[in-house]
Chain A
Amino acid sequence: MKDGMFVFDAAVHCQDFSDGQIKDGSDGRRVRILREQLTGFINLTGRRGPPPEPETFSDPDLDWGVDMLFGKADTDMACACSVPLFSHWRAGLGPVELSHALAQKDPARIVLTGGVDPVYHGLGPALKEMERQVHELGAVSFKFYQYQSRGCAWRADDRDIAYPLWEKAMKLGIKMVQFHKGFPLELGPVEAFKPNDLQYAAADFPELNFGIHHLGDPYVDETISIASRFENVYLILPLWFNQYYLQPYKMLQRLGEALLYVGSDRICYGSEAFIWPHVQTYIDTLANLVMPDELQDKYGYPEITREMKENILGKAFARGMGIDLEAKKRELGLV
């Protein structure tokens, strides 16, 4: 708990950037590019904080990870989020089995977000894999990357490819499906990650929540517009924090827009650990965040209240995932 506020980290990854992920017959260029991109990103955005620990963000030691989340930080719950990028990665960039292994380290605190791809693997196998990840691994959500490689992409509003996924998710008791939007990884085209395809899906599946990661950067305006109109769309903030240290005013403007048009009850904290493992930095930042008077005056953004911080730090994501936070607090001995 941070000052009495429940902290639920919506985005923790166990990723594997090692050469062991390079597929047979591949020159490994894509794997190396992403590794270099992320290392560069960490070096750039983390320069105001403690020195980065690049050896820890790939295939992390799980006990160390649990300690970084719960021992060295005020995190109460976390979501181990798979990264189902398969084209250039032997086991997927964030293998579901590795995320599952992290969740098993502290099952009361860590929930699993699985991942499948209906185009790369085919719809039938993807649906079967969803069942397996729920029944065998205990997945409570799914994360989707809708572009694998040239010609291998899909839209969330595709009735043939995507809607069976949403129907299956609901049948499996899933409350929220999540999407990597914007911020293309390695050489993928940015437009493949526009959030616009979520509109019909959100309208046609009002009982299912749709989580958008990264504010859809660079499609931030579209993302906020969509979330403002569809009450089952949630904004999940990983990378916002990472970028905040580099560009605080720009990030405050983005958060201000989201608070103004969407509201804190659908904005969710996510650390993107273990890219930057010192997650307490993020928690402290959010807990102490102030909307500058100038931004309130010039852009109409609200003051950031304790109620908003409580929502963002944990309540919003718990609600979107269908997790009873009060029951969880009792289970964890926090009340």
Chain B
Amino acid sequence: MIDLHALEAALDRARPLVLGHGGDIEITDITREGVVHVALSGACRACPNLAMTFVGPVRSYLMAVPGVSEVRCEQVKAGPRALSRLANLLHAHPYPVA
């Protein structure tokens, strides 16, 4: 079970980073399995750096919340190999290759 207050607090850590670049972030869905779906808006929507923003701060902060099993963002089109590589380079929360 995800602590929604903790989840919101985690999101509040990431939000200033994207607000500072003209974007924003919201949680669009939380599944019973603990998968959190997020959507980025504003300037983030078509930003070439979207994958890095997602796999770096956004996913890492949210994955640290107890009960969160995965974080997904449909706007991120990069493949798992690329996201895994990014996560390694950023020392972010590890991203599964498959």
Contacts from A to B (Cβ < 8 Å): 225, 228-229, 259-263, 291, 293, 296-297, 299-303
Chain B residue numbers with a CB within 8 Å of A259 are 77
A-B contact count (CB 8 A): 37
What is the minimal beta-carbon distance from A301 to any residue of chain B, in angstroms? 6
Interface residue? B90 (CB, 8 A): no
B77-A302 in contact (CB<8A): yes
Decide if B46 is an interface residue (CB 8 Å cutoff): yes
- A308 — nearest CB in chain B belongs to which residue? B77
Which partner residue on chain B sits nearest A305 by CB separation? B79
Most buried by B among A229, A261, A291: A261
> Any chain A CB within 8 A of the CB of B81?
yes
CB <8 Å contact, A301 and B48 = no
Chain B CB within 10 Å, residue with most, of A228, A229, A261, A300: A300
Q: Does B45 contact A (CB under 8 A)?
A: yes
**Binary interface profile of B, 36-60, with partner A (CB < 8 Å = 1, else 0)?**
0000000001101001000000000
A-B contact pairs, 20 of them (CB 8 A): A225-B46, A260-B77, A260-B78, A261-B46, A261-B77, A262-B77, A291-B79, A296-B82, A297-B85, A300-B78, A300-B82, A300-B85, A300-B86, A301-B78, A301-B82, A302-B78, A302-B79, A302-B82, A303-B79, A303-B80
- Give which listed residue, B45, B46, B79, contacts A300 with CB less than 8 A: B79
Chain B residues closer than 8 Å to A302, beta-carbon distance: 77-79, 82
Listed in ascending order, the chain B residues whose CB lies under 8 Å from chain A are 45-46, 48, 51, 77-82, 85-86
- B45 touches which of A229, A293, A297 (Cβ 8 Å): A229
Q: Which residues of chain A are within 8 angstroms of B45 by Cβ–Cβ distance?
A: 229
Contact status A228-B78, CB under 8 Å: no
**Bound-complex Cα distance A297 to B80 (A):** 10
B86 CB contacts on chain A under 8 angstroms: 300
CA distance A225 to B51 in the complex (A): 16
> Whole-angstrom distance from the CB of B6 to the nearest CB of chain A?
31
With both beta carbons as reference points, the residue of chain A lying nearest to B52 in the complex is identified as: A300
Instruction: For residue A188, give the distance in angstroms from its CB to the closest CB of chain B.
Output: 30
